[in-house]
């Protein structure tokens, strides 16, 4: 996946969530637009399974 597996990446995932939150709550930035995120855990060596998501 984008962030990989393991606890060391949870801070990066939280940073993404916070960035989306901040952008969505700034009324002057991207007006009338709402960003969403879809975080999924993927197996590193499973390209076929990843392509099906």
Work out the pLDDT band at 8, boundaries 50, 70, 90: low
Residues 6+ apart with CB under 8 A from 38: none
User: pLDDT confidence of 4, banded at 50, 70, 90?
Assistant: low
Q: How far apart are CA 21 and CA 13, in angstroms?
A: 12
Give the model's pLDDT for residue 48: 79
Mean pLDDT calculated for residue range 13-35 = 94
Q: Would you list the domain boundaries of the chain?
A: 7-51
Q: What is the pLDDT of residue 22?
A: 97
Q: Is the dihedral of CA 15, 16, 21, 22 positive or negative?
A: positive
Contacts of 43 (CB under 8 A, 6+ apart): 49, 50
């Amino acid at each position: 996946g984008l962030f990989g597996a393991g606890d060391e990446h949870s801070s990066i995932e939280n940073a993404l969530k916070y960035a989306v939150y901040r952008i969505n709550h700034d009324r002057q930035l991207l007006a009338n637009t709402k960003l969403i995120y879809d975080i999924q855990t993927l197996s590193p060596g499973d390209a076929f399974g990843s392509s099906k998501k």
